[in-house]
DNA sequence: ACGGTACGGATTGTTGAGCAATCCGGCAAG
DNA sequence: CTTGCCGGATTGCTCAACAATCCGTACCGT
């Protein structure tokens, strides 16, 4: 009611000058302790510092990170919602241990989403394909220096860039979560180098096809990629489970 | 998921007789207060009891629901992660007010996911198409009795059933969240009957095409459906925003 | 030995209160 | 009409406590 007095001219003059600042806002509004907590824990989990199955006792973690038990619980809720952690009532939270069903589920959603995103490459938002190329280059650089962990992150970022072709924030967020989960599976595998090494070349191939606009071929290559990776992860998990059951008996 | 704590021998002996009970488990393991809180609030929000923009003051809500402020905060984190609610630091949580950008984003992910799911109808999990038919019948029954709100829920469940054709739990969860968000948009529209009424017939048509295995035609009809709905929602939001800005000037 | 059971310790679930940090609205001064 | 400041209210986070639940273990009768 009271603001109708602002002259339209002055308002426009200001908005044009401040338009560039709206993008910088996310850097300012630091979300607070619990978001930072979740970041730390998420990083520790996806980086392998906290192997699947590890229990995260509230008292211990709260004291270790110097935060209250209640705030930590809020962070746990977030991670549980992202499925990086499972919350068993009255027992505690544990780093998730994905099983074969999870891997299959993850790869069916990846097949569906990533292939559809590539098919949409024509009407992709500007800069999306450039981002793909950049990530591929980073992966090749990391591979040349034998930094296999970085190769893994580059791989996941590559597929995030693929999904970004669809141009939907919600889709990006969802796949970022799924790929973080997938990283848990990577850490359950033996020989990460062996696993990641062949895919950097295939990623580059897919990127080239997308750049050249041969979307059908790109989709085919991507499908083959996903099938191979799924198969490999499933056999890896199978070996691991048989060996663990042997160790129990 | 797996409960590998049980000795393998005992597990096999029991699992044959108890396999039918695994489905009843979710009824037993009551997750606790915060999950119930989130359910209540989610229902209130999606049902329209808490219109977009409403502030949810911690003290007031906590007292109203007879729960501690800390527990309520945990529930808020969940809803914020589901984007039903926005969390502005040091200001509070508000029921989300989706804008035109949100509608466009939601519909691009819907187009991508739902169409791909229908294309996968051949290898859909058993019972998925039957579920679609059941939901369509429910929608028609509700429409015959002029229960437009129930028509809206049936519509969303219809599309959940469509997504279920893909056979991925993660995809189902994600789309359930997106559709709940979409419901917020519905509540911002005037004349819900007018909006929902034509779609019950189009849903039935799509269901018939899927049942008959004419997936290409089904995809086409679904695409047209989504485009029309998006257009309609966008104009509705545009009207609303202009009228609100008029009320300010 | 073996299945059942009761007990004790430890962890989680939830509460309530408290304090610092921050935001909002209004009021006074320039 | 802007600027700065103050008071009230709300949030962010902590702390301590208690109830509920789970786990391992020792105990029991057979």
Q: Å from A26 (CA) to C26 (C1')? A: 30
Residues 6+ apart with CB under 8 A from B90: none
Per-residue pLDDT of chain A (249 residues; tens, 9 = 90+): 334 434 443 444 444 455 666 556 555 667 899 999 999 999 999 999 999 999 999 999 999 999 999 999 999 999 999 999 999 999 999 999 999 999 999 999 999 999 999 999 999 999 999 999 999 999 999 999 999 889 999 999 999 999 999 999 999 999 999 999 999 999 998 887 888 889 999 999 999 999 999 999 999 999 999 999 999 999 999 888 776 554 443
Chain B hits for A86, CB-CB cut-off 8 Å, are 1
User: Does residue B240 contact residue B188 with C-beta atoms inside 8 Å?
Assistant: yes
A169 inside 8 A of chain B by CB = yes
User: Residue A213: what pLDDT?
Assistant: 96
User: Residue A20: what pLDDT?
Assistant: 61
pLDDT for B6-59, tens place per residue?
Answer: 333 333 334 444 555 555 554 555 678 999 999 999 999 999 999 999 999 999
Domains of chain A in sequence order: 28-95 (1.10.10.10), 100-248 (1.20.120.530)
Q: Å from B10 (CA) to C3 (C1')? A: 15
A178–B112 C-beta distance less than 8 A: no
User: Residue A26: what pLDDT?
Assistant: 52
A184 inside 8 A of chain B by CB = no
User: Residue B140: what pLDDT?
Assistant: 95
Share of chain B above pLDDT 70, in %: 85
A240 inside 8 A of chain B by CB = no
Share of chain B above pLDDT 90, in %: 76
User: Residue B149: what pLDDT?
Assistant: 85
pLDDT band for position B193 (cuts 50, 70, 90): confident
User: Residue A29: what pLDDT?
Assistant: 60
Mutation test of the interface with chain A: which of B34, B81, B178, choosing the one with the most A Cβ atoms within 10 A?
Answer: B81
pLDDT band for position B195 (cuts 50, 70, 90): confident
Q: Å from B5 (CA) to D27 (C1')? A: 25
User: Residue A191: what pLDDT?
Assistant: 83
pLDDT higher than 80, residue B3: no
Closest CA–CA distance from residue A140 to any residue of chain B (Å): 31
Closest CA to B139 of B226, B209, B200: B200
B81–A78 C-beta distance less than 8 A: yes
Residue pairs spanning A and B at CB distance below 8 A: 88
Here the tokens at position A81 are: 């919602």
Phi-psi region of A67 (alpha: psi -120 to 50; beta: other; left: phi over 0): beta
A233 inside 8 A of chain B by CB = no
pLDDT higher than 80, residue B245: no
Residue A78 CB in 7 A reach of strand D:
no
pLDDT band for position B192 (cuts 50, 70, 90): confident
CA distances from A211 to A127, A208, A223, B46 (A): 12, 5, 17, 42
Chain B hits for A226, CB-CB cut-off 8 Å, are none
B1–A99 C-beta distance less than 8 A: yes
pLDDT for B103-139, tens place per residue?
Answer: 999 999 999 999 999 999 999 999 999 999 999 999 9
Question: Helix (H, G, I), strand (E, B), or coil: what is residue A93?
Answer: strand
User: Does residue B148 contact residue B155 with C-beta atoms inside 8 Å?
Assistant: no
């Amino acid at each position: 009611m009271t603001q109708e007095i602002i002259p339209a001219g002055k308002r426009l003059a200001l908005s044009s000058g401040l338009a560039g600042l709206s993008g910088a806002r996310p850097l300012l509004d630091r979300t607070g302790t619990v978001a930072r907590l979740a970041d730390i824990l998420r990083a520790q989990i996806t980086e392998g510092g906290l192997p699947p199955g590890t229990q995260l006792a509230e008292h211990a973690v709260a004291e270790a990170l110097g935060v209250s038990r209640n705030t930590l619980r809020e962070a746990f809720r977030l991670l549980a919602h992202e499925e990086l952690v499972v919350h068993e009532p009255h027992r505690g939270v544990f780093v998730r241990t994905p099983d074969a069903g999870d891997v299959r589920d993850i790869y069916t959603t990846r097949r569906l989403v990533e292939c559809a995103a590539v098919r949409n490459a024509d009407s992709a938002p500007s800069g999306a394909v450039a981002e793909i190329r950049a990530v591929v280059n980073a992966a090749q650089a990391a591979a040349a220096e034998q930094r296999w962990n970085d190769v893994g992150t580059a791989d996941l970022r590559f597929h995030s860039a693929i999904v970004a072709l669809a141009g939907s924030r919600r889709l990006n967020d969802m796949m970022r979560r799924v790929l973080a989960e997938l990283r848990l599976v990577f850490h359950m595998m033996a020989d990460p180098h062996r696993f990641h090494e062949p895919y950097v070349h295939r990623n580059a191939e897919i990127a080239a096809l997308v750049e050249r606009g041969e979307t059908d071929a790109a989709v085919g290559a991507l499908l083959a990629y996903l099938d191979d990776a799924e198969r490999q992860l499933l056999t890896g998990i199978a070996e691991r489970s048989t060996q663990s059951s042997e160790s129990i008996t």
